[in-house]
């Protein structure tokens, strides 16, 4: 089976300086892949390069089996959805009009998030943070993307809202075969819904494993890779980590 997305030897960064180095990654249909890592590990830069927002410095990206260097808007036409860490709502438009601008039917959005029904006439800027994120995710998922990239869906949100968002992502993978990459700081929540995990530090993949394996080792992963101390000396920790397969 051809992967929906594949990156091979991908390097990406800014002003010619790489932040992500030699990254290999695949996403199959119906698979949820979670990227974990401390702040500054290169997770968002990875998504920017995979989406076409950021041109790679090296390596290649394949979308549906074809190598591409197309910008985001062209990849979106071919089935890419991208939810950034900034909630993408038109603050002066109502919830209903936000959905219309996204080419999404109100009925489909409410099927995902019934919580929005009583807020359809409310301007986007007056929605709560959780409602804004539901609106943003509804616009992405209701377009039935082949691939969804989601950066920090849970940022600043209440636990129950985070569960609703991640449940919707998991359902899209299970019911429609959407391939998903999620970047999350809340590892415990993300691993409930992921199939596979990549741990990044200093722009390199240090560990790759199934989500079930990651859940069993989560305490070690958090202390060795996701803490502030880990960001200072990740190479030594990577060499010493026990039980993880090489990426």
Digit-coded pLDDT (tens) for 143-171: 999 999 999 988 888 989 999 999 999 99
Instruction: Give, for 27, the enclosing helix (H) or strand (E).
Output: strand 17-27
116 against 157, higher pLDDT: 116
* pLDDT for position 172: 97
Question: Going by C-beta distance under 8 Å and a sequence separation of 6 or more, which residues neighbour residue 213?
Answer: 197, 244
Which CATH topology does 5-240 take? Rossmann fold (3.40.50)
pLDDT-based confidence at residue 228 (cuts at 50, 70, 90)? low
185 against 113, higher pLDDT: 113
- Domains in the chain: boundaries: 5-240
pLDDT 10s digits, 168-192:
999 999 999 999 999 987 888 899 9
Lookup: tokens for 6:
């594949």
What mean pLDDT is reported for the chain? 89
Express as a percent the part of the chain with pLDDT over 70.
91
* 3-state SS class at 9: strand
C-beta of residue 125 within 8 angstroms of C-beta of residue 176: no
Tell me whether strands 204-210 and 196-201 are parallel, antiparallel or unpaired: antiparallel
* pLDDT for position 156: 85
Euclidean distance between CA atoms 98 and 1, whole angstroms: 36
* pLDDT for position 76: 94
* pLDDT for position 74: 95
CA atoms within 13 A of residue 56's CA, in its CB half-sphere: 23
* pLDDT for position 80: 96
Entry pTM: 0.88
pLDDT above 70: residue 242: no
* pLDDT for position 236: 36
């Amino acid at each position: 089976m051809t992967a929906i997305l594949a990156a091979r030897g991908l390097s990406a960064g800014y002003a010619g300086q790489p932040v992500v180095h030699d990254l290999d990654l695949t996403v199959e249909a119906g698979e949820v892949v979670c990227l974990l890592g401390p702040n500054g590990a290169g997770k968002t830069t990875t998504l920017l390069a995979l989406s076409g927002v950021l041109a790679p410095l090296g390596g290649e990206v394949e979308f549906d089996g074809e190598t591409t260097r197309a910008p985001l808007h062209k990849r979106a036409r071919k089935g890419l959805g991208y939810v950034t860490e900034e909630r993408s709502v038109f603050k002066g438009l109502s919830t209903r009009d936000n959905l219309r601008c996204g080419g999404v039917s109100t009925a489909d959005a409410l099927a995902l998030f019934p919580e929005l029904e009583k807020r359809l006439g409310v301007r986007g800027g007056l929605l709560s943070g959780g409602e804004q994120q539901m609106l943003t995710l509804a616009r992405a998922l209701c377009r039935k993307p082949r691939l969804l990239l989601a950066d920090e869906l849970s940022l600043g949100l209440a636990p129950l809202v985070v569960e609703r968002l991640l449940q919707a992502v998991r359902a899209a993978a299970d019911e429609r075969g959407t391939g998903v990459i999620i970047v999350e700081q809340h590892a415990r929540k993300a691993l409930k819904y992921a199939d596979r995990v990549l741990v990044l530090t200093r722009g390199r993949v240090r560990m790759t494993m199934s989500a079930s394996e990651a859940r069993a080792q989560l305490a070690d992963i958090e202390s060795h890779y996701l803490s502030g101390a880990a960001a200072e000396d990740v190479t030594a920790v990577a060499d010493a980590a026990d039980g993880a397969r090489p990426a």
